[in-house]
Structure 1
Amino acid sequence: MGCFSSKKTKYTPGYEEPTVLASETSFSVSEVEALYELFKKLSRSIIDDGLIHKEEFQFALFRNRNKKNLFVDRIFDLFDIKRNGVVDFGEFVRSLSIFHPDAPVSEKIAFAFKLYDLRQTGFIERDELKEMVVALLHESDLILSEDYVETIVDKTYTDADTKGDGRIDQEEWKEFVLKNPSLIKNMTLPYLKDITLAFPSFVLNSEVPDSEV
């Protein structure tokens, strides 16, 4: 029994070979390997089962697992490609790849569209846009008046809904974002380009007190 004890070959659920994931994403093989180490830490931070649950996801991104937030919910839902309530390693890498500086802008625009299309109708409607604007402001701890939020939403809709049918389709969204690239600024995480260097400082530093786990 002892001769294999030093070799750990037990991988997390949904594990895929780095070479496969590198060929399908913007990451190199070494970056995927670094992401696996990160994934293992995140997937064990609250529930030690090798999968990322929403609480772990929220804590990793926002250092808070108790505050309900629409923005976090939508990001998690989009990472959860299999729609089974957890994120496995393959889903983690494929979804994170969209945030890579080298990922195609078209992928970032499409991801952002899905983010705002709360009811998954294929259109961004005014109330969906308002919900996301409020959620993003809340996440940034910005308190704006109802009137100001309405002004932001109205201006966005006036500029984006070029067909004037009261909803923003994918084509309109793409044109609008290309004219206003700051809208997808948060779709790029610069440190992913050097994940093998940035990795140590990005990983959770055991910030959850034992009493909370």
Structure 2
Amino acid sequence: MGCASSKQFKRRTPGYEDPNILAKETTFSVNEVEALYELYKKISNSIFKDGIIHKEEFQLALFRNSSNKNLFADRIFDLFDQKRNGVIEFGEFVRSLNIFHPDTPMTEKIAFAFRLYDLRCTGFIEREELKELVIALLNESDLFLSEEAVEQIVDQVWQTFKQADANGDGKIDPDEWKDFACKNPALLRNMTLPYLNLQKSTWARAVVM
């Protein structure tokens, strides 16, 4: 599958990177990288047909909706868009998906989760950021509650996160988050997608074939 597939990558994929290099830099094998290319092609041509993943295509793939504003899709897209050029190229797609692989070290998952919650990119997780996430979740579920009800929910969520604030300064830094996440691994359950272990995945075999 190797040589012919590599030529296909180079000819058709914007931001092409050698599958062998991507395999060395991630948990994926060369065959798995090539399988991910098939998924990448489907997503990157779902709306704009240009072979690059735009935010609308990314949101459509995640939530089956490309038009409604979605804070989670926006945030994850921003983290995948490592070059900060408004699109996701193939190399970025593979490297970012690697975070969710079952065999990726937990320290990398913890760091990615911290960046996900650090909406304002201040280097801290704060209550107001959690409030933004709660409001986004409620809105996406078509639940529009009073400000008082929202504050009660945020308080409950923050009480859990506040346990990570070891120095009591009202915000959570990366080291505090790491210690807290190690003690509470359930916080990271969404950071592992079992089907990304492509060698064991029936999905992967179907894509490759």
* TM-score scaled by length of structure 1: 0.84
CA separation in 2, counterparts of 1:118 and 1:147? 18
**What does the per-residue CA deviation read over 1:102-128, in whole Å, with 9 as the maximum and x for residues that have no partner?**
011111110010011111111111101
Quick one: structure 1 residues 160 and 138, their matched pair in 2 at CA, closer, same or farther if it must change by over 3 Å?
A: farther
Q: Which residue of 2 aligns with 1:32?
A: 33
**What does the per-residue CA deviation read over 1:136-176, in whole Å, with 9 as the maximum and x for residues that have no partner?**
4555x385742441232331243111110111000111111
**Structure 1 residue 199: deviation in Å?**
3.6
User: What SS does the aligned partner of 2:88 have?
Assistant: coil
Q: 2:194 aligns with which of 181, 190, 201?
A: 190
- Alignment of 1:154 with 2:155, yes or no, is no
**Structure 1 residue 194: deviation in Å?**
2.2
1:22 corresponds to which letter in structure 2? A
User: What SS does the aligned partner of 1:160 have?
Assistant: coil
CA separation in 2, counterparts of 1:85 and 1:100? 24
CA separation in 1, counterparts of 2:43 and 2:35? 13
Q: Quick check: 2:125–2:171 contact (8 Å CA) kept in 1? A: yes
**Structure 1 residue 197: deviation in Å?**
2.9
Equivalences, count: 196
Greater share of residues in helix: 2
**What does the per-residue CA deviation read over 1:40-73, in whole Å, with 9 as the maximum and x for residues that have no partner?**
1110000011100000000011111112111111
CA separation in 2, counterparts of 1:200 and 1:80? 28
1:163-202 equivalences under 5 Å are: 163-194=167-198, 197-199=202-204
CA separation in 2, counterparts of 1:142 and 1:110? 31
Q: Which has the higher contact order (CA 8 A, sep 6+)?
A: 1
CA separation in 1, counterparts of 2:202 and 2:137? 29
Q: Which residue of 2 aligns with 1:16?
A: 17
Q: Which residue of 2 aligns with 1:4?
A: none
- Alignment of 1:73 with 2:74, yes or no, is yes
CA separation in 2, counterparts of 1:47 and 1:128? 32
Quick one: structure 1 residues 90 and 117, their matched pair in 2 at CA, closer, same or farther if it must change by over 3 Å?
A: same
CA separation in 2, counterparts of 1:147 and 1:78? 28
- Alignment of 1:84 with 2:89, yes or no, is no
CA separation in 2, counterparts of 1:132 and 1:54? 19
**Structure 1 residue 180: deviation in Å?**
1.6
Q: Which runs of 5+ in 2 are unaligned?
A: 1-6
Q: Quick check: 2:134–2:154 contact (8 Å CA) kept in 1? A: no
CA separation in 2, counterparts of 1:74 and 1:94? 16
Quick one: structure 1 residues 156 and 134, their matched pair in 2 at CA, closer, same or farther if it must change by over 3 Å?
A: farther
Q: Which runs of 5+ in 1 are unaligned?
A: 1-6, 203-213
Report which stretch shifted further, 60-69 or 8-17: 8-17
